Amino acid sequence: MSEDKRKNDIDEGQDDGTTKESRRDFLKKMGVAAAVTTVAPAATAATTKAASIAEHLQTHFEMMSDSQKEAAIARLEKRYSEQFEKQVTVANTPAPDEVLFGYALNISKCIGCRRCVEACVRENNQSRDPAIQWIRVLQMERGNDTFELENWHKGSPSSSRIGDYGVQSGGHADKAVGISGHTDHYYEPEQVPEENAFYFPVQCQQCEDPACVRACPVQATYRDPNGIVVIDYNWCIGCRMCQLACPYWARRFNWSEPALPNEEMNPKTHYLGNRPRMRGVMEKCTFCLQRVRDGRYPACVEACPVGARKFGNLLDPESEVRKILATKKVFRFKEDFNTEPKFFYYMD
């Protein structure tokens, strides 16, 4: 989608052109009322209040002029630097041309160590309490039992009026064969990988036809030119419609003010990426947008100790991710939803 068309779509709204205007009118009224009724006890508090009102009244990031973006970023850098007691930068690095980011994950190598989760939390300034994690690793049972003669006659019930081989189920009904459909999100073993365990990491699939984007009533979430689905946190109204629409459980909602210790806060942020969020807004994986727009790998790719995670440009035939698509047994998670994920799973 071109820049002009995106701006026109956002300006006009999805349906009748009232979405943006009604939202801004509401926020403007609330902001003015707060300014009139609240008197700051000190000059610094008054300045902070004025900056907060300006932040709430700013337009969609894609609709801002360059000067408006600079002012919005300056406000954020000032607020974050004061809040976390360190120098915080908020970048606005543009999307590189002729790049469509894609991800490939080798599930036959994943050992379930969750180092990708830990690296993601540190890099992307996720809340520590309550804990928010953009990546979840599912543990499933890898069944190794085979069909055996001794279980042939051990049906359930063990006998009946019409025979002794089980009327309701056969003797192998409770034996796991292959990968079990039962998943455990919160496994806590002493050591990984566990015997007979299989691991399946899930995060935002960065869909080409994202259901979350269609569901957002104010277009706070949208695809950037590189195919990454981003969120303008200041434009999000917290309705959670995107969360409901996503079939991958990839979006997180801040029910309370995120708890991010000063010493753990990553000060190198991007407006559409890992800058600190606030209560009442959604957040999700962005392929570490603040890193990939600077030519670096996502944090989870670098953290994986077994090299199970691969990342690259889907438009480049020589990229590692394209070679994987051409040579490996590849599938996409929940492909029947027709969201066209750019996150691929494969096995050796």
pTM: 0.80
* 108-159 residue pLDDT tens: 999 999 999 999 999 999 999 999 999 999 999 876 666 777 777 777 777 7
**Alpha carbon distance 175, 236 (integer Å):** 48
Q: What is the pLDDT confidence band of residue 165, given thresholds at 50, 70 and 90?
A: low
Mean pLDDT of the region 256-273:
97
Predicted pLDDT of residue 177: 66
Instruction: Assign domain 89-141+182-348 to its CATH architecture.
Output: 2-Layer Sandwich (3.30)
Predicted pLDDT of residue 43: 46
The whole-chain average pLDDT of the chain stands at 86
Predicted pLDDT of residue 35: 44
* Confidence check: pLDDT of 299 > 80: yes
Instruction: Say which range, 108-112, 177-181, 312-316, has the weakest mean pLDDT.
Output: 177-181
Predicted pLDDT of residue 164: 63
Predicted pLDDT of residue 29: 54
Predicted pLDDT of residue 262: 98
* 58-117 residue pLDDT tens: 999 999 999 999 999 999 999 999 999 999 999 999 999 999 999 999 999 999 999 999
Q: What is the pLDDT confidence band of residue 41, given thresholds at 50, 70 and 90?
A: very low
* Confidence check: pLDDT of 36 > 50: no
Mean pLDDT of the region 189-214:
95
Mean pLDDT of the region 3-11:
52
